[in-house]
Amino acid sequence: MKGWEPMPHDDARSVIAEGRAALGIELGSTRIKAVLTTPDGVVLASGAHAWENDLVDGVWTYPLDAVRTGLAACVTDLHADVTRRHGETLRRVATLGLSAMMHGYLALDADGELLVPFRTWRNTSTGPAAAELTEALSFNVPLRWSVAHLYQAVLDDEPHLSRLASLTTLAGWVHTQLTGRTVLGVGDASGVFPVDPATRDYDAAMLARVDELLEARRPGLRLRPLLPDVLVAGQEAGRLSEAGAAMLDPSGTLEPGARLCPPEGDAGTGMVATQAVAPRTGNVSVGTSIFAMVVLERPLARVHHELDVVTTPVGDLVAMVHCNNGASEVGAWAAVFGRFAEALGHPTEADAVFGALLAEAADAEADAGGVLAYNNLSGEPITGLDAGRPLVARTPGADFTLGNLVRAQLHGAFATLSVGMRVLEAEGVEVDTLFAHGGMFRTAGVAQRLLAAAVGAPVAVAATASEGGPWGMALLAAYLDAADEQSLGEFLATRVFADAAAEVVEPDPDDVAGYAAYLERWTAGLALQRTAVEVMDR
């Protein structure tokens, strides 16, 4: 793949020294990561910083101070990697792009100060608002969308509304700090409020309907003045200011002046990183959350609570199956087994532990031997869960082996996704191949094979699978210099993925049958989750 092919050392140094590189930064759920590339997407260096959300007074959040310190730590790590790999100092970049986990609610006053703690996509407290908006608009408004958070605040008559001047996403907030401009990329904006694919902007008729609802409950409050402006991929979204450069790099090494592309959500960057921006293409992102994106050939026939309608970074309609809970529970079990190895006197790298567990799962029974795993750390709207309690359950006669336990965990991570994908299939939506990306795919083969069984479609994994979003954001930044000549699809096809190679796995009939049996038992056992929520304290 072009994005990861070796580059002559002198060429890499000249791209960095001459300030021609593109920089993509993504604030994910567990890591903030930066990827530096050439204008054609060849990776030059990367940096990362680990962080975690907090549950404060029942709200999943990240403090904005943690955003600032995390970005600076990530860029510091990037500087070190540039020096280590190329013997150069990164002083300036040509283009820059910022992405983050989508949705949620950042409510600001007229001075840009945060009014309530950042409410992330993980919060599921907006049920009444989402239901009322969905009915009023005849359009599925998920619990995590920004407009659902706003309308729930209106229903609850929250005090901060009297000072509310604007709202945005995490990517939008950081972009404003870097440039002074209040904008969103259309993909991220489509998780704030429904977007009209004809105008590539918020849907005007739906805005008017929401204003009617707001007027009835809070006279004088209008939605559109609160929202960031919408831009599409290829449009310049500002320049890195002196204050923005200092925020990213308090050492003062990184200079201002870089051109920024529109800030995007992690769903859009995943689509770009997998070249899934054309109809009948799609991708699956596996991380703290798990979601599938399928580019539509036509609008959906009806509203489904399991399917969100969002857009690509250029504004084309996408059906999104978003699950709040992804691979975190698999990672937790891997950490337990890693500690067990350490206790036995055999400390082992995390990737090696994970690889060994996946190898056990590969040889396990196709239906996990009767073992069930529920990975719900938080609520899950698709399955109607307001909160989560991770569980492993089995009957006394189940074959409780290490392989079956791990396979059950992997099946459990994909189960909610497959529920949504079956709804999409019933709508007549077809997809030729799903491209998978995320850290789970650093270990070749097993997770990819089981995902193919879960979604009933070929699954491809490319060399960039473990990097995904930040690399996709760097590509969107680099696209700024090609947008006058090529569409985003053409840019990706001819300049980034022209020599791409990916491993494609077809669904195995035995895996498909075993997974179907697992999913039937798993679905019947969802009552266990509801009971656990009732009887177990947080």
Query: Taking residues 486-504, what's their average pLDDT?
Result: 88
pLDDT for 9:
60
- Tell me the whole-structure pTM to 2 decimals: 0.84
pLDDT score of 537 more than 80: no
Instruction: State whether residue 160 is helix, strand or coil.
Output: helix
Closest CA to 266 of 31, 454, 45, 70: 31
Chain-centre distance for alpha carbon 410: 19
Name the percent of the chain lying above pLDDT 90.
78
155 burial via Cβ count (<10 Å: 0-12, 13-18, 19+): middle
Task: Tell me how far apart the alpha carbons of residues 365 and 354 are, in angstroms, rounded to a whole number.
Answer: 19
- Mean per-residue pLDDT over the chain, rounded: 93
Closest CA to 437 of 303, 284, 327: 284
Scan for tokens 């699956």, then name that residue: 284
Query: Taking residues 319-337, what's their average pLDDT?
Result: 93
Strand-pair category, 259-260 with 264-265:
unpaired
Residue 244 lies in a domain: no
191 Cβ contact partners less than 8 Å away, ≥ 6 residues apart: 102, 103, 144, 145, 146, 169, 265, 267, 308, 310
| 147 neighbors 193 (Cβ within 8 angstroms) | yes
Tens digits of residue pLDDT in 68-114: 999 999 999 999 999 999 999 999 999 999 999 988 999 999 999 99
Closest CA to 103 of 296, 268, 237: 268
pLDDT score of 1 more than 80: no
Query: Taking residues 433-453, what's their average pLDDT?
Result: 84
Residue 56 or 226, more confident: 226
pLDDT for 309:
94
pLDDT tier at 465, thresholds 50, 70, 90: low
pLDDT for 464:
58
Residue 410 lies in a domain: no
Strand-pair category, 183-185 with 229-231:
parallel
pLDDT tier at 270, thresholds 50, 70, 90: confident
- Structure token digits, residue 172: 């939008």
Instruction: State whether residue 15 is helix, strand or coil.
Output: helix
3-state secondary structure 181-241: CCEEEHHHHCCCCCEECCCCEECHHHHHHHHHHHHHHCCCCCCHHHCCEEECCCCCCCECC
Instruction: State whether residue 329 is helix, strand or coil.
Output: helix
Residue 527 lies in a domain: no
Lowest-pLDDT range, 154-158, 190-194, 272-276? 272-276
Tens digits of residue pLDDT in 285-316: 888 889 899 999 899 999 998 999 999 999 99
Residue 469 lies in a domain: yes
pLDDT for 337:
97
How many domains is the chain built from? 1
Question: 491: domain CATH number?
Answer: 3.30.420.40
Rounded to the nearest 5°, which phi and psi values hold at 308?
-100, 145
pLDDT for 4:
45
pLDDT for 289:
85
pLDDT for 288:
83
Q: Which residue range(s) make up the domain with 489?
A: 271-326+419-504
Residue 312 lies in a domain: yes
280 burial via Cβ count (<10 Å: 0-12, 13-18, 19+): middle
Residue 464 lies in a domain: yes
Strands (DSSP E) contained in 348-432 are 372-374, 391-393
Residue 292 lies in a domain: yes
Task: Tell me how far apart the alpha carbons of residues 330 and 228 are, in angstroms, rounded to a whole number.
Answer: 37
Helix axis angle for 9-17 and 64-86, nearest 10°, is 140
| 202 neighbors 193 (Cβ within 8 angstroms) | yes
- Structure token digits, residue 226: 């609160």
Residue 179 lies in a domain: no
| 272 neighbors 257 (Cβ within 8 angstroms) | no
Here the contacts of 364-367 (C-beta below 8 Å, separation 24 or greater) are 364/401, 364/403, 364/404, 364/406, 364/407, 365/399, 365/403, 365/404, 365/407, 365/514, 366/510, 366/511, 366/513, 366/514, 366/515, 366/517, 366/518, 367/514, 367/515, 367/517, 367/518, 367/521
pLDDT for 467:
57
Scan for tokens 């920004």, then name that residue: 146
Query: Taking residues 446-469, what's their average pLDDT?
Result: 83
pLDDT score of 16 more than 90: yes
Strand partners, 323: 290
Using CA atoms, how far residue 294 sits from 107, 312, 331, in Å, is: 30, 10, 27
Strand partners, 231: 185
Tens digits of residue pLDDT in 18-30: 999 999 999 998 8
